[in-house]
Amino acid sequence: MRATALSGFASISASMAAMAFAPALARVPHGVAREHYRQGDWRLDVSRDRFSGAVACRLRAHGGRQIYRAGAVGFAVGALDMTHAAYRIDGGDPVAARSNVPQLIAQHVPIELGGLDNPSGGYVWIPLDKLATADWVAIEPRPGARPKVVRLTGMIALHDLAVTHGCTPDAVFVER
């Protein structure tokens, strides 16, 4: 009879111990914390996993038509074939977009976003260092086409803010 009472006590104390740990487990952080910042036409979204601390950042403008990735900004101008695209920064000399390809490859910029029929995905990629002091960029998708002008107001400030919020290295910047 005495052994039965002791075994009953052991099972009660085990369940009480499990209940004691339940509130501690409930305090484990979970979910994703999101922060959003805007400046000019640009928006920065910072998402942080509360459990692991992993960070994902997105810097974009115009509903994702311009996006930052891997040290460069991609500009979607609505044309499919960007092999003959050119751009001007703040009214400077025209630059063939393809002249940036060696630098973009070295930076691991995802310049091939589309399929075989449209490898560029309709984007012209310009290294961020070329845009660091720029107010605007005009992109001509093909010779003779009407250029698309994009204001860059706020982009550099938001990129700097992203870095202070843990958006480093550049691999944490996502497209979607």
Q: Is the pLDDT of residue 13 over 60?
A: no
Q: Is the pLDDT of residue 96 over 80?
A: yes
pLDDT at 21: 47
- The radius of gyration of the chain from alpha carbons, rounded to an integer in Å, stands at 26
Per the confidence metrics, is the pTM higher than 0.75?
yes
Question: Domains in the chain and their CATH numbers?
Answer: 32-172 (2.60.40)
- Do the Cβ atoms of 76 and 148 come closer than 8 Å? no
Q: Alpha-carbon distance 89 to 111, whole Å?
A: 20
Q: Is the pLDDT of residue 9 over 70?
A: no
User: Pick the residue with more confidence: 111 or 166?
Assistant: 166
CA angle 105, 106, 109 (to 5 degrees): 50
pLDDT at 63: 76
- Do the Cβ atoms of 20 and 32 come closer than 8 Å? no
